[in-house]
Structure 1
Amino acid sequence: MSTDLDVAVVGAGLAGLAAATELRRAGLAVRVFESEPQVGGRTTSFRQDGYTVDTGAEQISPHGYRATWRLLERMGVRLDDVPVLGGPVAVWRDGLARPGVAEPRGMLTGAGLTPRARLDLARFQLWARRRRAWFDTDHPERSPLRGTTVAEFARRYHRDLHDYLLQPVAGTFFGWNTERSAAAVLIGLLLAVGDASSWRTYRDGMDTLARLLAADLDVATGCAVHEVVAERASATLLTTSDTVTARSVLLCVPAPVAAMLHANPPEDESAYLSACTFRPALKVSCLLDRPLAPAGARAYALLTPEVEEDVLSAILFDHQKHPGRAPAGKGLLTLMPAADLTHSLVDAPDDVVVARLTHAAARYLPELPAANRRNFVHRYRHGLPEAAPAALHRRPRFMARPLRSVDYAGDWVMQRPASEGAVRAGALAASRTLSRLRGRPQTVAPQRA
């Protein structure tokens, strides 16, 4: 049977764009199908009245993001286009923002931890460094802790380590409930990315890399794929407007979406897809007429632990990311709900979500009601992979699966909920696809104008 494409990529997030870039460089005819009107997936941004608003939340560390930095270098992104975040990460305790979370100075400032808890933090850090080999971010399932949740692991130490460090970090940056997500993944990520004071952001919005990658690709935006059927040597896609055949299809979408689209996955794939549960993500952006800061520190992020707050998980001060994110003299905030509250709010009307979160945020920022000028609500039903022990248990068999006409990419493949996980999964999917197609006749790649 003749085919329309060498490779059809479903999803124009970083995983799909990274995979498509590698495959096109290898001379294959590749098209990316994206249901949304823009590229980027969970790393999109938009511009409004001089504000640059990220719909997700992304930091990039100089450590633990090797594949991302390599891709940025290839795309000509300079280091000063990825500046250091303009403020520390703080945690709220006893009426003040306590800076130094995930930084060495936290041992001196406290970062929300009592003196006894700081001693246990030192114990934990020493324990983790001595066992660094347990925490391979590419293979978290190999860790002896693969069946242990974050909450279970934290019971070894003073309760403050869970309540004022592990829970707010997991809840804010990954949307996790610590009773459900694996300690091996969280500890591995903390070891990999290092000191929060060195974290960076994108000067022109978190969609920077996605826009650059898409510019050199054949991307069909606003074109949803409704079903993918695998054959032995090819696969068929039913899209919004057409039926397309390809020698290979890459499903670069969240695992639950991939499971819904793939009409006939083998058992080794469907078992892992069903185990890769996701947490929804919800955010409210606040465009302010002045910059605001919490009492105690001019932080980039203020984490609000569950023991202190049942509505918010964090407030991100986006005008602290980089001065260009908001017009001069203005402010830009992101309000993030508590992980478990997100489930009940994700389908609520925008005005309900805005009212609930801004009312809670006024506790930390009393001037917010007067400064708030406009709000936007951002929803991702499949926000980030939950990294549950069940997924780690099933991952080895999935990673050893044969090469087939339908394959996958996404942060959930790596069980690494960050852009680095997506980029690495995209590179892996491209390598697998090239191995499968190597030696067979190829469709001639179309030339771009």
Structure 2
Amino acid sequence: MPDVVVVGAGPAGLATAHTLARAGCVVRVLEATDAVGGRMRTLRADGCLIDTGAEMLPSAAGYPATWRLISAFGLDADPDAVPRVRGALAVWRGGRARPHAGRPLGLLTGAGLPPGARLDLLRFQTRLNRMRDLDPDHPERAPLGMATVADLVRRYHPDLRDYLVQPIAAGFFGWDLDHAAAGPFAAHLKASGSTGGWRTYRDGMDTLTRALAARLDVVTGYPVTRVSTTPGGVRLDSPRGAVTARAAVLAVPAPLAAALRPDAPPYERAFPAACGYAPMLRLTLGLDRPMAPTGVRRGFATLVPAAEDPLINVITVDHHKHAGRAPAGRGLVSLIASPGGTTELLGAPDPEVTERLTARAERFMPGVTAHTLSAHVHRFRHGLPEATPRAVALRAAFEARPVSAIEYAGDWTTLRPCSEGAITSAERAAARVLAHLARPR
């Protein structure tokens, strides 16, 4: 019998299993799908590396837990393995992409903002830098109370909201400014720093998860339907057969974790219930030539504000992210649907999604339809956790719950929808499991 069974082979589950295994535990990871990675998967098709998401790595100051793992596996020994992304972020406005968004240089060039909004951006950044207790690992401590992101930016120039904050919140997190809590958003912005220092994985966004899985006992195609406590530990039911262990970690989205454990004690149910999830929809197009939105030379991601288009929120030029993403002479771009577009198209057949989004992309990349060779649709019904004010208010109590035989990991537990949030949650989950296992039976 394993000491611990981890449900879910995304970054949170694999990092939890890795930490427990290093501590001497016998660990098994059960993954319902046919591959590891969760939302951090990379498909290898048509000679391309196709990321299902858009993982970007700020510096070690912003993503310390992630970089500790990268260093532990020696992934940074080769300086080209985690390269810098040039021109990471632009904003679409006035018929073309405006580069240097999220960088100090953008205050000079405009980055799509008029002078008044640029001045307010500087004021906004200064306010965040001076704000105490703005800790991405503890968003509930932020001195912003129950304020939403909309409340956070209400005092500033409206273009700061419409042409920077809204497309960032919607495109990267799937958040609605009127419903998302200000604390987690502000803390993440402050920690991530300038987009000029962002990096990526040369060999695909699943580089770290593949490295973790290679050293672990991972079983794919093994769905778990229920997890319950027993006198000797825990029981995990599955169509493939029940598994028992001394402890379990549910490293799956909050709604799935709640469904796996309907008999959880009341103090464990409130916080997951408050963590809503925004779905994600992404279309990746393989092209017969390199293409990019008008105005982009070497940039990677172009934010498309809702004021500019109702269907597309972000366009990523994946062959600019790293040259190895597509064969020489070809292109690879991804179209990330807006929250409204995702709601409209999430259940539509792949051909319809491809037709609708590609047709909209003609405005940004004229001729893209004619140059498309292949299309891959990526859907995540539980895409990104929504950090609502209610979830922020309940998080402290959830963190203070007693250790038990069943623990949780995932970016929803940190209210930080990114790999850093997932890996930070893994460190905490592993520590709680070890504390439980150390107690006398």
TM-score normalised per structure 1: 0.95
Tell me what 1:375 maps to: 375
Tell me what 1:102 maps to: 102
Tell me what 2:162 maps to: 163
Tell me what 2:42 maps to: 45
Runs (4+) of structure 1 exceeding 3 A deviation are none
Does the C-alpha gap of structure 1 residues 28 and 338 become closer, same or farther in structure 2, counting only changes over 3 Å? same
Q: SS in structure 1 opposite 2:44?
A: strand
1:371: Cα distance to partner?
A: 1.1
Tell me what 1:72 maps to: 70
Tell me what 1:12 maps to: 9
Which letter maps to 1:66? P
Q: SS in structure 2 opposite 1:27?
A: coil
Which letter maps to 1:96? R
1:344: Cα distance to partner?
A: 2.2
Which letter maps to 2:413? V
Tell me what 2:409 maps to: 409
Structure 2: unaligned runs, 5 residues or longer? none
Tell me what 1:247 maps to: 246
Partner residue of 2:33 out of 36, 59, 76: 36
Deviations 1:416-449 (Å, cap 9, x if unpaired)?
11000000101110011011111558xxxxxxxx
1:232: Cα distance to partner?
A: 5.8
Whole-Å separation in 2 of the counterparts to 1:110 and 1:84: 23
The 8 Å contact of residues 35 and 222 in structure 1, kept in 2 or not, is answered as yes
1:230: Cα distance to partner?
A: 2.1
Q: SS in structure 2 opposite 1:437?
A: helix
Determine whether 1:21 maps to 2:18: yes
Determine whether 1:285 maps to 2:284: yes
Q: SS in structure 2 opposite 1:81?
A: coil
Deviations 1:357-403 (Å, cap 9, x if unpaired)?
11111101002012111101000100011111110011011000001
Which letter maps to 1:344? E
Q: Which moved more, 1:389-398 or 1:138-147?
A: 138-147
Which letter maps to 1:72? I
The 8 Å contact of residues 87 and 99 in structure 2, kept in 1 or not, is answered as no
Determine whether 1:118 maps to 2:118: yes
The 5 A counterparts of 1:329-348 are 329-348=329-348
1:119: Cα distance to partner?
A: 1.0
The 8 Å contact of residues 88 and 198 in structure 2, kept in 1 or not, is answered as no
1:134: Cα distance to partner?
A: 3.1
Identity of aligned residues (%): 49
Whole-Å separation in 1 of the counterparts to 2:240 and 2:119: 61
Tell me what 1:324 maps to: 324
Q: SS in structure 2 opposite 1:211?
A: helix
Whole-Å separation in 1 of the counterparts to 2:152 and 2:19: 39
Structure 1: unaligned runs, 5 residues or longer? 442-449
1:233: Cα distance to partner?
A: 5.1
The 5 A counterparts of 1:107-256 are 107-131=107-131, 133-231=132-230, 234-256=233-255
The 8 Å contact of residues 254 and 412 in structure 2, kept in 1 or not, is answered as yes
Which letter maps to 1:8? V
The 8 Å contact of residues 279 and 381 in structure 2, kept in 1 or not, is answered as yes
1:80: Cα distance to partner?
A: 2.2
Which letter maps to 1:277? G
Whole-Å separation in 2 of the counterparts to 1:157 and 1:366: 34
Deviations 1:179-217 (Å, cap 9, x if unpaired)?
111111111111101010110000000000000000010
The 8 Å contact of residues 87 and 321 in structure 1, kept in 2 or not, is answered as no
Q: Which moved more, 1:427-436 or 1:84-93?
A: 84-93
The 8 Å contact of residues 304 and 312 in structure 2, kept in 1 or not, is answered as yes
Whole-Å separation in 2 of the counterparts to 1:53 and 1:101: 24
Whole-Å separation in 2 of the counterparts to 1:341 and 1:266: 37
The 8 Å contact of residues 86 and 196 in structure 2, kept in 1 or not, is answered as no
Q: Which moved more, 1:40-49 or 1:144-153?
A: 144-153
Tell me what 1:312 maps to: 312
Whole-Å separation in 1 of the counterparts to 2:2 and 2:302: 47
1:90: Cα distance to partner?
A: 0.7
The 8 Å contact of residues 85 and 321 in structure 2, kept in 1 or not, is answered as yes
Whole-Å separation in 2 of the counterparts to 1:320 and 1:405: 46
Tell me what 1:362 maps to: 362
Deviations 1:332-369 (Å, cap 9, x if unpaired)?
01101111221221111111111111111110100201
The 8 Å contact of residues 10 and 249 in structure 1, kept in 2 or not, is answered as yes
The 8 Å contact of residues 280 and 381 in structure 1, kept in 2 or not, is answered as yes
RMSD over aligned CA atoms reads 1.2
The 8 Å contact of residues 48 and 327 in structure 2, kept in 1 or not, is answered as yes
The 8 Å contact of residues 177 and 340 in structure 1, kept in 2 or not, is answered as no
Q: SS in structure 1 opposite 2:137?
A: coil
The 8 Å contact of residues 5 and 31 in structure 1, kept in 2 or not, is answered as yes
Q: SS in structure 1 opposite 2:296?
A: coil
The 8 Å contact of residues 289 and 330 in structure 1, kept in 2 or not, is answered as yes
Which letter maps to 1:27? G
Which letter maps to 1:179? D
Whole-Å separation in 2 of the counterparts to 1:77 and 1:50: 23
Whole-Å separation in 1 of the counterparts to 2:242 and 2:88: 50
Tell me what 1:87 maps to: 87
Q: Which moved more, 1:417-426 or 1:143-152?
A: 143-152
Count of residues paired in the alignment: 437
The 8 Å contact of residues 225 and 237 in structure 2, kept in 1 or not, is answered as yes
Whole-Å separation in 1 of the counterparts to 2:341 and 2:389: 22
Whole-Å separation in 1 of the counterparts to 2:225 and 2:111: 48
1:161: Cα distance to partner?
A: 0.7
Whole-Å separation in 2 of the counterparts to 1:233 and 1:270: 23
Tell me what 2:438 maps to: 438
